[in-house]
Amino acid sequence: MFSEEHKKMGITFPQGFQAAGVKAGIKKSGNLDLALIYTEKEAAVAGTFTKNQVAAAPVYVSKEVVKGGKAHAICANAGCANACTGEQGLADARAMAKEAADAVGCAANEVIVASTGVIGVQLPMDKVKKGVKAAAAELSENGSVNAGNAIITTDTYSKACATEVEIGGKKVRFGAIAKGSGMIQPDMATMLCFITTDAAIDQPLLQAALSEVVEVTFNMISIDGDMSTNDMAIVLANGAAGNATITKKDKDYEIFRDTLKELCTGLSQRIAADGEGATKFLTIHVTGAKTFESAKQVGMSVAKSPLVKTAFFGEDPNWGRVICAVGYSGVPMEPEKTVVKFGGIAVYDKGVGAKFDETALRKVMAEHDVVIDVELGLGNAEATVWSCDFSYEYVKINGEYHT
């Protein structure tokens, strides 16, 4: 997606955006843990949030900001989720927004706040406040890499993207940083993702585009089936590109939405591939379903099966576990119409195991990227789900991740 250089620029690739990431001392490791993203020009803001009923304090605060429709900044920390922290947690999330607002010079209700890390621990506000000040002082057009690194937890690397398209005769840029490795399950944003664009677009259309895109990108990932308390995807559009403001679902809107989708698809795939302890990136492509929803349900059933995930870790072409997960997904299916393929090689063919070239299949299983096709033969709808395997490392990371 564009050049490596632009990817590195991430969220500061679009005009008018600055970012910073600093060490506030919230993470025990002492790594970067507080990110600030800023646009002097007011941005339209849209967001999607966790549907977990136990939502973190910053989720409540940021939902209000999105309701207001405009923002100047995003302030996010890693190392502490500020979830299950009661009234104090809510006050702290608001104080974090206020601190960032004061530091960059905007209103507190124009600052998105986000947190990720351990649940049930209060934010160390002294550290947060110092961190916010330090980040504000470091804001620059080269700050995306640090900001990206400041929001990761068990991720092995920070996910960033950037791209440029033409909308209404103007070059419009998009950038994004995302994190997410464990506690990843569909049904909303399922991680932290901050997207910037210098496109001019009305806020309701920005929200419409984001909501539509999230459904087929971030909501199609499953790493462990655990839906986080803190997920959010936020997009800021500051209009600095000078395109005629997108005000209806026309051609320009479509370009905007498709670019957003391309960006989010890339990030989703990278989040799945970087799942905790993952050694394989699995793409589960379900076709021949009656509806998108049922195709997704079948794909998720396969993606979430611990038996499927451990089989791929073991590079064992155990298709029985895949068809088993298809059979219990809750979606009506007919074994006699169903075909399952690994890397394009049919392994299950309408009720029985297929005859396949074992050497070729072994080669498919040894690859890092494996595509699992499930052809239901019932209709024309399809869905693609991204997942990863289950390794010893997953157990290690999560058996030892300290509370």
Name residues contacting a second copy, limited to 232-291 (CB under 8 A). Answer: none
How far is the C-alpha of 338 from the C-alpha of 333, rounded, in Å?
A: 8
The first and second tokens of residue 223, run together, are 């790493």
Beta strand 159-167 with 192-197 is unpaired
- Say whether residue 379 binds a second copy (CB under 8 A): no
Q: How far is the CB of 92 from a second copy (least distance, A)?
A: 12
Nearer to a second copy, 249 or 396 (CB): 396
* Cβ contact 33:79 at 8 Å: yes
Q: Is 154 a catalytic residue?
A: no
Name residues contacting a second copy, limited to 121-180 (CB under 8 A). Answer: 121
15-23, 46-54, 92-100, 280-288 -> range binding a second copy (CB under 8 A): 46-54
Nearer to a second copy, 207 or 229 (CB): 229
How far is the C-alpha of 265 from the C-alpha of 113, rounded, in Å?
A: 24
Q: How far is the CB of 358 from a second copy (least distance, A)?
A: 11
Q: How far is the CB of 120 from a second copy (least distance, A)?
A: 4
- Say whether residue 357 binds a second copy (CB under 8 A): no
b or e along 102-136 (b: 16 or more beta carbons within 10 Å of the residue's beta carbon)? bbbebebbbbbbbbbbbbebebbeebbbbbbbbbb
Q: How far is the CB of 348 from a second copy (least distance, A)?
A: 6
Beta strand 192-197 with 170-179 is antiparallel
Nearer to a second copy, 84 or 108 (CB): 84
Of 194, 196, 201, 200, which is closest to residue 241 (Cα–Cα)? 200
- Say whether residue 332 binds a second copy (CB under 8 A): yes
Name residues contacting a second copy, limited to 312-331 (CB under 8 A). Answer: 313-314, 316-321, 323-328
Judged by CB under 8 A, which of 138, 187, 202, 262 binds a second copy?
187
If one counts every other C-beta atom within 10 angstroms of the C-beta of residue 279, the result is 17
**Which of 154, 163, 190, 229 is labelled catalytic?**
190
Residue positions annotated with a catalytic role: 190
